[in-house]
Chains A and B, each alone.
Chain A
């Protein structure tokens, strides 16, 4: 019998043995959840474009299908108005995201140059976007 306390160790040993025999222990690819710890400029650019999904507008009531239909018709009827909101917000988001991306590149270049000249980057480490001591590019 394996006790609960021994089980994890046994499992790790079994994996080590399999690996030693050269077995393929790859769990496969496909969709993998990723936490957003450090959102990089490329991800910001992707998020900057707002795309609300009408399929996510629905009713939670019992027999709510007519309510869902009414809500979606309302969205359709107001689309000229909502498109303006989406466009204006997306314009702002994209400009900001592009600006941050450019700052990030600029900080990277400065840090690279500082490294080559033997100096250290401000703070000693790679600065994150928005922490650049330099003025933004014009």
Chain B
């Protein structure tokens, strides 16, 4: 079978590109061929992922769209005749970006508006979480499924022994892009209060690249104001460095306002670190009962977060219980189980058994080669 993957954009540290890589590794294992192409390409992944215009798809080649942002040129590929699977990685609501990153805000606003068209014109639409899938269903997708993020814990470094509580300065960790909707500003503020109320020597480590550029400067200024000398902000780290940060952490704190899935949650479970998180988007279903979840509708104040952190850091029995439950969550999202779901979804689409009312017009669309878009080979 030939399966092509089409991405809105591809970059070296981009999570969606990482998923496309993981999908491709599986496809190769199953003996499936095909190309990975992107509408917008970071030069650092050129070669591995090719420009969209290079796509050569035969009539029965399966097309897997990884949708995460507005991509006008990707739309043309919907006219290709092959069976299509949409994997929606969720688009951040623009409301969080207008003030800080207008370029991304425009992309997200138009991208979210574009979701219904993609959802309706593919044979099967999949969300990475039930939260995402519900959005696709609401957008009019004829057939919807949940295909969780492919997470391979075997690629992570060994967790090592759990850090004992007490006797050293607690370390609070958050891993994720430094971007407005992830609310690192609230993480810093809640941490500062935790420090004031419970652990004056506590440290906060934020790991992630700044997007937009310069957003980290605002966070650093805030950190110096409310918790001087206690916050470390680090950019992209090697896997070994990241593993070291997880091993040192006493608790993971996520106060994000929007998440489709949140992969670092599974990494945190792997390293046995207790999680305190706001249950927004797909966070609740990924975390299950293995995290201390804040109710987003209650709008719990930073003081409540500080008290939860204190419990997560000092209550050894609670930590052990969370660690045990985290292992169960990892089993739920095991690489092999998700891989089989992906395989079943692709085979279903390829055989036309998606159950969708496929728009046959899209199977006889004119060749787009002349317009510089993706081409059909017959």
**Which residues on A sit within 8 Å (CB–CB) of B321?**
1, 3-4
B96 touching A35, Cβ below 8 Å: yes
Q: Write the nearest CB–CB distance from B38 to chain A, whole angstroms.
A: 14
Q: Write the nearest CB–CB distance from B285 to chain A, whole angstroms.
A: 16
**Which residues on A sit within 8 Å (CB–CB) of B322?**
4
Q: Which of B113-121, B128-136, B287-295, B351-359 faces chain A?
A: B287-295
**Which residues on A sit within 8 Å (CB–CB) of B219?**
31
CA gap between A30 and B228 in the complex, in Å: 13
B95 touching A11, Cβ below 8 Å: no
Interface hub of B293, B303, B325 (most chain A Cβ within 10 A): B303
- A134 at interface (Cβ–Cβ under 8 A)? no
Find A39's partner among B11, B98, B183, B292 (CB 8 Å cutoff): B98
Residue of B nearest to A17 (CB): B307
**Which residues on B sit within 8 Å (CB–CB) of A5?**
289
- B267 at interface (Cβ–Cβ under 8 A)? no
A31 touching B303, Cβ below 8 Å: no
A61 touching B44, Cβ below 8 Å: yes
Interface positions of B from 280 to 318, Cβ below 8 Å from A:
289-295, 300-305, 307-308, 311-312, 315, 317-318
B180 touching A33, Cβ below 8 Å: yes
B307 touching A60, Cβ below 8 Å: no
Which bucket holds chain B's interface residue count? 35 or more
Q: Mark A90-121, 1 if CB is under 8 A from B, else 0.
A: 00000000000000000000000000000000
**Which residues on B sit within 8 Å (CB–CB) of A27?**
189-190, 192-193, 226, 301-303
Which bucket holds chain A's interface residue count? 20 to 34
B213 touching A56, Cβ below 8 Å: yes
Residue of A nearest to B98 (CB): A36
Q: Write the nearest CB–CB distance from A48 to chain B, whole angstroms.
A: 12
B289 touching A28, Cβ below 8 Å: no
A10 touching B96, Cβ below 8 Å: no
A11 touching B311, Cβ below 8 Å: yes
Q: Write the nearest CB–CB distance from B13 to chain A, whole angstroms.
A: 10
**Which residues on A sit within 8 Å (CB–CB) of B29?**
none
- B233 at interface (Cβ–Cβ under 8 A)? no
- A42 at interface (Cβ–Cβ under 8 A)? no
CA gap between A7 and B213 in the complex, in Å: 37
A10 touching B100, Cβ below 8 Å: no
A4 touching B222, Cβ below 8 Å: no
Given contacts A27-B193, A28-B189, A33-B185, contact A12 B304 (CB under 8 A): yes
CB within 8 Å of B: which residues of A?
A: 1-5, 7-8, 10-12, 14-15, 18, 25, 27-37, 39, 47, 55-56, 60-62
13 A–B contact pairs at CB < 8 A?
A7-B312, A8-B292, A8-B294, A10-B307, A11-B307, A14-B307, A25-B193, A27-B302, A28-B192, A30-B185, A31-B222, A33-B100, A61-B43
